[in-house]
Amino acid sequence: MNKLSTTLAVLAAGIVGPVTAASADMVETVTERGELVCGVHTGLVGFGAPDESGEWQGLDPDYCRAVATAILGEPKVKWVPLSAQARFTSLQNGEIDMLAQNSTMTLARDASLGLTFPAFNFYDGQGLLIRSDLGVTESKELDGATVCIQQGTTSEYVIRNHFTDMGISFTPVVIESGTEFFSAFFSGRCDVITSDLSQLAIVRLTSEDPEAYMVLPDIIAKSPLGPVVRGDDKAFENVVKWTSYALLTAEELGVTQANVDEMKMQDNADLQKFLGATPGVGELIGLGDDWVYNVISNVGNYSEIFDRNVGAGSPLALPRGQNALWSDGGLMYSPLF
Ligand SMILES: N[C@@H](CCC(=O)N[C@@H](CS)C(=O)NCC(=O)O)C(=O)O
């Protein structure tokens, strides 16, 4: 790729320049402040949307709660809803401590922004949502279609390459705001919207007439999603990384929000260490030994978070699919504690 196209790819992915925030000890800052400042979606049910009391609910907000609890012992979070375009700049500038907003890890985002993706919380893919009456069954039949794309997302870059590779033309309509992106599609301004498949499934299911829309079978890119932090604070990065792993390990060990007290008392060396009945799990990442216990008792394990927000226990009922544990054939895998 030449310099111009690299620059274009970087711009298309919503990347705005080098990191500017002063380095800080985030574990100490969060402890002193008494809350974690988390960047979240403006309103995507299941992944991050406010409830009636203005509290953010969803898979990503629950990761904010888990990280806050690991540090503070309780899920104290200040929510900062962000547009797709503003999210990385906001993290770079230090306006938020952590970003949890269906953000895809890419080389450019991880390597050139001074940011880092410590873990994945949802393995997704990019797809296309169309009006069913278009009579199309796969993307190669979309020659000449009008495609709505949200600015500052990976989708913008991927879709252009996809149409070029297929050798067919399309008219891109690049939209800045998240709300306008969906309404443009539902009001007929474009034939297709492209984004993460989870997002497309949710938008379709929560529309007035889900049958009028269909997600095409094409998966045009991988899209691993996860929390993002600044790259200059290894200790905080470790907390986010190992909190994510703790959620997976708890699922693997059968530790749930309901049974965590009972599990902590079991005559099992691994469980006792993991849940802080015996010392060791906190010291290496600068936390108390009860941090995993606190996270699970406040937020639950990964399967509980998945189920209540996007899975079988929610109206969305998305399948676990690739997000199942490795032991169930999925990609979710935690190293040993
Ligand atoms: N995972 C992709 C797509 C993410 C995405 O499309 N996010 C949008 C739409 S859900 C968003 O955060 N919108 C909020 C807004 O702009 O208000 C990425 O990281 O670029």
pLDDT tens digit sequence for 77-127: 999 999 999 999 999 999 999 999 999 999 999 999 999 999 999 999 999
CA of 12 to the centre of ligand 1 (A): 13
Which residues make beta-bridge pairs with 193?
A: 129, 148
Statement: residue 41 has pLDDT above 50:
yes
Q: What is the number of helices (H) and of strands (E) in the chain?
A: 13, 13
- DSSP output for 320-333: -GGGSBGGGTSSB-
- Phi then psi for residue 45, to 5 deg, are -50, 135
Residues 6+ apart with CB under 8 A from 125: 196, 197, 219, 220, 221, 222, 223
Confidence of residue 179 (pLDDT cuts 50, 70, 90): confident
Q: Is the CB of 196 under 6 A from ligand 1?
A: yes
Q: Is the CB of 297 under 6 A from ligand 1?
A: no
Statement: residue 4 has pLDDT above 70:
no
CA–CA distance, 156 with 163 (Å, rounded to integer): 11
Whose Cα sits closest to atom 12 in ligand 1? Answer: 84
Whose Cα sits closest to atom 8 in ligand 1? Answer: 84
Statement: residue 1 has pLDDT above 60:
no
| Nearest Cα to Cα of residue 103 among 75, 76, 82 | 82
CATH topology of domain 126-222: D-Maltodextrin-Binding Protein; domain 2 (3.40.190)
CA of 77 to the centre of ligand 1 (A): 21
Statement: residue 60 has pLDDT above 50:
yes
CA–CA distance, 139 with 163 (Å, rounded to integer): 9
Statement: residue 17 has pLDDT above 70:
no
Statement: residue 18 has pLDDT above 60:
no
The pLDDT value recorded for residue 57 is 98
Statement: residue 141 has pLDDT above 90:
yes
At 290, which amino acid appears?
D
Q: Which residue has the tokens 């500017």?
A: 20
Contact yes or no for 310/302 (Cβ under 8 A): no
CA–CA distance, 109 with 15 (Å, rounded to integer): 7
Q: For the chain, give every residue range classified as CATH 3.40.190.10.
A: 18-121+226-323, 126-222
CA–CA distance, 155 with 163 (Å, rounded to integer): 12
Average per-residue pLDDT in the chain?
A: 93
The DSSP call for residue 104 is: B
Statement: residue 320 has pLDDT above 60:
yes
CA of 334 to the centre of ligand 1 (A): 27
Atom of ligand 1 nearest to the CA of 199: 10
Contact yes or no for 25/233 (Cβ under 8 A): yes
The dotted CATH code for 18-121+226-323 is 3.40.190.10
Contact yes or no for 223/47 (Cβ under 8 A): no
Q: Is the CB of 102 under 6 A from ligand 1?
A: yes
The pLDDT value recorded for residue 247 is 99
CA–CA distance, 63 with 171 (Å, rounded to integer): 37
The pLDDT value recorded for residue 161 is 96
Confidence of residue 11 (pLDDT cuts 50, 70, 90): very low
pLDDT digits (tens, 9 = 90+) for 201-241: 999 999 999 999 999 999 999 999 999 999 999 999 999 99
The pLDDT value recorded for residue 9 is 46
* Strands, E assignment, the chain: 36-41, 49-50, 56-57, 77-82, 98-99, 115-116, 122-131, 145-150, 170-175, 192-196, 213-215, 221-225, 229-230
Instruction: Please state the length of the chain.
Output: 337
pLDDT digits (tens, 9 = 90+) for 278-319: 999 999 999 999 999 999 999 999 999 999 999 999 999 999
